[in-house]
Amino acid sequence: MDIFVDTADLDEIKEAESWGILDGVTTNPSLIKKAASSEQGEMNLEEHISEILRTVDGPVSLEVTAVDQQDMVDEAETLYDKFNEINDNVVVKIPVNTSMGKNDDDFEGVKAIKSLSETGIPVNCTLVMKPNQAIMAAKAGAEYVSPFLGRIDDHIRDQMGLKRGEDYPKGTYYPSEMVERVRNYHIQRRISERSPEDIIYKDEESMELFYWGNDDGVLSGVDMVWSIKNILDNYTFDTKIIAASIRTARQVRQCAEIGVEISTLPFSVIEDMMSHHKTSEGMKAFDDDVIPEYRSLLRD
């Protein structure tokens, strides 16, 4: 699995690059804003982006800001023409659906992806929140699709009445397996008390259970990625998955188990992938046990 860092912070990118495990970078307008505010108005954005591109030899995603097909294509071409000559690694990020809830721009994203894929500009289709959107993006020719795991976990928890920040911190793993077991237990109990037909066709309260703890059958962000991976593998799409909006190292492990091609990670999650207190404890014990003869044997 390739590892990208999900940041526009140059210090983080350079540090991750120095570890020898970095395969690419993803940015978005929010991450650019965060990097700009941490530099307190000192940032030359064009130079900053150029430096990111020079630092990493793998793909670097830069997002458009427009919402109409032609404007997105124009911005994508501007980004590509301005920056791709630096290190030949620009990927343009296009939102799968730019409607912002108005339902009038629903297909501008896929139309832009289609146009750009025909001109050879690589596209990372972003803000993918369900497998059907990934199908559409792949059909339009996206080189990458970015499902947002953490946001789907947030969404499912929100529907269960749990608010991020109030009921759980952002970096908390969402135990969908446990939620599913609880849900199944209640469904089974009702089915054993009544006939399945009553549950499925008549009992509104029980039907609510089918919709509780999932998003149209998707049980979690990881489950969404599993579904997308299965779908893309079923056909001849060349589209690769970039698992995004990842909040915990456990999600990264699960993405790797699924066979996801790429995970883009906040810097802190990459750090979490390396730490285990038993490793530190073991390291300390080895260090304490080194006899002088052994150390000098290695250092002479």
- In whole angstroms, give the CA distance from residue 268 to residue 248: 9
CB-wise, 148 or 174, nearer to ligand G3P?
148
150 binds ligand G3P (CB under 6 A): yes
- In whole angstroms, give the CA distance from residue 260 to residue 228: 9
* Count of residues interacting with ligand G3P (CB under 6 A): 10
Catalytic residue among 14, 93, 202, 229: 93
Beta bridge partners of 148: 244
- In whole angstroms, give the CA distance from residue 136 to residue 96: 8
One residue of 8, 26, 108, 137 binding ligand G3P per CB under 6 A: 26
* CB 164 to ligand G3P: min, Å: 10
Build a one-symbol-per-residue string for 29-68: x at contacts with ligand G3P by CB under 6 A, - elsewhere: --x-------------------------------------
**93 tagged catalytic:** yes
One residue of 8, 16, 25, 28 binding ligand G3P per CB under 6 A: 28
One residue of 176, 245, 248, 251 binding ligand G3P per CB under 6 A: 245
Active centre residues (catalytic) = 93
Where along the sequence are the contacts to ligand G3P (CB under 6 A)? 6, 26, 28, 31, 148, 150-151, 244-245, 264
